[in-house]
Amino acid sequence: MKISHHKILSLQEAVSRYVLDGALISVGGFTVNRAPMAAAYEIIRQKKRGLHLCVHSAGQSIDDLIGAGCVSQIELAYAGNGRFASTGVRFRKAVQDGELLVEDYSNYQMTLRFMAGAMGLPFLPLKSTFETDIINKWGFSESMRRADEKLPPQKLAVIDNPFDGWCDTEKLVAVPAINPDVTIIHAQKADEQGTVRIEGLTYADIEQAKASRHLIVTCEEIISVDHMRDTPDLNSLPHFCVDAVVHAPNGAFPTACFNYYDYDPQFLTRHEQLAKDDTAYQAYLDEYIFNLRDHADFVELIGEDNFKRIQANPASGYATGLNREV
């Protein structure tokens, strides 16, 4: 949230200003699509520590944030990457090694938790997960909850329908609001005032964005304010929700950005292989993050040929006929 008409920042500046050590952070996108990868890499490059991540099915971005040691605890629904990693390799390793505290929810629960945060409500109810271990097993202990003011006192609660059986409903599961310190999303278009346009599925980006104290939007293109306001029906977020607009073309790579480029099956497959070995993974972090100054260096390293290979076909929004047999 920021009332100003000048939002454009460099990625380095946006991350150092809004992503502080220990921050409660959420990232947008879904598995292999519109993950804010450039921002995740910059967080890793700046060696942020002790982050508390809240996501639904974030996939690629969180696996690297976890693998690089930036994250100490996570609330999530799913940490896989579709066919490219049925379970995030670094996520699995961190949990099994006892290096990452996890609290599990479902995708709808996480969505409603962000929506409650966006609406200024303490919780929202739903009619799912009764009698499951999502309700019975808590990842964060009661003492940990008491000690951390960013954690609600309970994971969730089963409540009676206050309207006496109305809508054929006796009980509800109430899930607590999440209000991140900062949310980062990657969008196709934004203007300098902060108006954002997401093309294709929005997942829960809108709810995550509005629930957050601060919002960083990385985007493929900065569009003129006039142009964005000529067709406001296509816009996704009002400018005052946004703290920083960062021009980061190819900023979702190696995940996809609908209408711009596809995911890179080769990079994702190689990532999964490298992530299985600590030494190889460290070399990957060095090669693609630590040895580079910024996102522009990363784009240069990936190279034009690779971006051309995954360039979206305007008719389909993805790279039609892309070789995905890897």
Nearer to another protein, 193 or 255 (CB): 255
* Binding segment (CB under 8 A) for another protein, from list 64-72, 219-227, 288-296, 312-320: 312-320
Nearer to another protein, 29 or 36 (CB): 29
* Cβ count within 10 A of residue 168: 7
Residue-wise burial string across 181-196, b where 16 or more C-beta atoms lie within 10 A, e elsewhere: bbbbbbbbbbbbbbbb
Applying the rule CB under 8 A, the residues between 10 and 39 that interact with another protein are 29-33
CA dihedral 4, 9, 15, 20 (to 10 degrees): -30
Query: Residue 254 is inside which H or E element, if any?
Result: none
Q: CA 298 to CA 55: how far, in whole Å? A: 25
Interaction of residue 128 with another protein, rule CB under 8 A: yes
Nearer to another protein, 233 or 325 (CB): 325
Which residue shows structure tokens 């969505």?
111
Single residue of 56, 113, 186, 271 touching another protein by CB under 8 A: 56
Applying the rule CB under 8 A, the residues between 85 and 124 that interact with another protein are 86-88, 91-92, 95-96, 98, 102, 104-109, 111-112, 115
Nearer to another protein, 3 or 315 (CB): 315
CB of 92 to another protein, least distance (A): 5
CB of 173 to another protein, least distance (A): 8
- Can you state the angle between helices 60-67 and 278-285, rounded to 10 degrees? 100
> Chain centroid to CA 120: how far?
21
Site size toward another protein, by CB under 8 A: 72
CA dihedral 270, 275, 279, 280 (to 10 degrees): 0
Kindly list the distances between the CA atom of residue 123 and the CA atoms of 52, 56, 102, 176, 207, in Å, as whole numbers in the listed order: 20, 17, 20, 4, 14
Applying the rule CB under 8 A, the residues between 254 and 273 that interact with another protein are 256, 258, 262-263, 265
Q: CA 161 to CA 188: how far, in whole Å? A: 41
Nearer to another protein, 194 or 265 (CB): 265
Applying the rule CB under 8 A, the residues between 198 and 237 that interact with another protein are 200-204, 206-207
Interaction of residue 304 with another protein, rule CB under 8 A: no
Interaction of residue 67 with another protein, rule CB under 8 A: no
Applying the rule CB under 8 A, the residues between 129 and 188 that interact with another protein are 129-134, 136-137, 139, 168-172
